[in-house]
Amino acid sequence: ICKLDVVDALIVLHCVILRIDVFGMHIGFIIVQVSTIMEVPLSQSQIWPCLK
């Protein structure tokens, strides 16, 4: 019984680590999207004075 408990604990831990990795990837992807969205207006605002 103790061995099975250890195996179950390892499986749960592995699933938690995988979920954290996926969650971290999602956070990284969101940060990249936000940074690109924020960079577009900045680049446009820098271009507009040159056009004027």
Phi-psi region at 9: left, alpha or beta (left = phi > 0; alpha = psi -120 to 50): alpha
Q: Read off the amino acid at residue 26.
A: H
CA distances from 3 to 9, 14, 15, 32 (A): 10, 16, 18, 43
- Radius of gyration from C-alpha coordinates of the chain: 23
**Is the pLDDT assigned to residue 12 strictly greater than 70?**
yes
**Is the pLDDT assigned to residue 48 strictly greater than 70?**
no
Residue 35 banded pLDDT, cuts 50, 70, 90: confident
When pLDDT is averaged across residues 43-48 and rounded to a whole number, the result is 60
Q: Can you give the pTM of this predicted structure?
A: 0.42
Residues of the domain holding 7:
1-52
The domain tally of the chain equals 1
Q: Read off the amino acid at residue 14.
A: H
- Report the length, in residues, of the chain: 52
